[in-house]
């Protein structure tokens, strides 16, 4: 192995997570662990990994939902792990784009073999999908360009990051504190009013003049983008 391949384990059972970590580190992988679905998803958005081991029954956001969201903009190999032998979970997992599926308890050798296979397959794949779509709103993370239909929208860096975060989390209401933390950063001393101001700019740019609005205010909770 010339460079260490990074694997993220999203698993709420700490003993299993720790066990997997030890085994994977022993195999030469670099390993990170998250214990709930939301943190896992955020980790995936903020760092790059070569593979995700994703438990299905997770607090925060289920593994299936995490996988669905990963697939909105990434082809990273995902191996789902579950305690349930439930066939519907398996079918659903594969339907929403998981690469493989393993029922606990499993033999570590089998998991390692599947990880190697998934990483091998991925090497021959096309690069990551750079576009996030919500309705006819298209955000390209690589070119940093945004289109509503065929019309290009000009955004400032902050507006872009705000829109990107909301689009990645399509359908989830995000409160102002979360937006402040994710887009402005934890140590940025500004008030949540700035969030409202930027939301207003953003709404003006992406929704105004269109019959169909994507950016919604959920009074008392926050903001959400949905088609």
57 near Ca ion, rule: CB under 5 A: yes
Residue pair 102/78 in contact by the 8 Å Cβ criterion: no
Of 52-60, 131-139, 156-164, 191-199: span binding Ca ion (CB under 5 A): 52-60
Residue 112 CA to residue 149 CA, distance in Å, equals 44
39 near Ca ion, rule: CB under 5 A: no
- Residue 56 CA, distance from chain mean position: 15
2-31 footprint of Ca ion as x/- string (CB under 5 A): ----------x-------------------
Comparing CB distances to Ca ion, the nearer of 55 and 89 is: 55
| DSSP output for 164-187 | HHHHHTTT--B-HHHHIIIII-TT
Please tell me the number of Cα atoms within 13 Å of 66 on its side-chain side: 34
* Of 43, 10, 5, the residue nearest 27 (C-alpha): 5
Q: Which residue is nearest to Ca ion (CB)?
A: 57
55 near Ca ion, rule: CB under 5 A: yes
Residue 7 CA to residue 127 CA, distance in Å, equals 18
Comparing CB distances to Ca ion, the nearer of 54 and 138 is: 54
100 near Ca ion, rule: CB under 5 A: no
Comparing CB distances to Ca ion, the nearer of 15 and 187 is: 15
CB of 59 to Ca ion, least distance (A): 8
Comparing CB distances to Ca ion, the nearer of 53 and 132 is: 53
| DSSP label of 3 | S
Of 15-23, 56-64, 150-158, 182-190: span binding Ca ion (CB under 5 A): 56-64
Please tell me the number of Cα atoms within 13 Å of 29 on its side-chain side: 23
Interacting residues toward Ca ion by CB under 5 A? 12, 55, 57
């Amino acid at each position: 192995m010339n460079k260490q391949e990074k694997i993220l384990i999203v698993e709420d059972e700490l003993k299993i997570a720790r066990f997997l970590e030890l085994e994977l580190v022993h195999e030469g992988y670099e390993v990170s662990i998250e214990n709930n679905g939301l943190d896992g998803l955020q980790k995936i958005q903020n760092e790059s990994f070569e593979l995700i081991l994703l438990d299905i029954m997770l607090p925060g956001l289920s593994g299936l939902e995490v996988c669905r969201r990963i697939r909105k903009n990434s082809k990273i190999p995902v191996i789902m792990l579950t305690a349930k032998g439930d066939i519907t979970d398996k079918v659903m997992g594969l339907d929403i784009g998981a690469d493989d599926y393993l029922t606990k308890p499993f033999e570590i050798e089998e998991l390692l073999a599947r990880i190697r296979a998934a990483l091998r397959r991925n090497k021959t794949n096309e690069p990551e999908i750079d576009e996030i779509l919500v309705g006819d709103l298209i955000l390209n993370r690589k070119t940093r360009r945004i289109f509503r239909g065929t019309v290009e929208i000009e955004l400032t860096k902050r507006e872009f990051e705000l829109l990107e975060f909301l689009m990645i989390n399509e359908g989830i209401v995000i409160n102002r504190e979360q937006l402040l933390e994710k887009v402005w950063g934890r140590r940025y001393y500004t008030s949540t009013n700035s969030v409202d101001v930027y939301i207003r700019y953003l709404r003006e740019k992406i929704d105004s003049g269109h019959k169909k609005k994507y950016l919604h205010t959920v009074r008392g909770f926050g903001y959400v983008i949905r088609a």
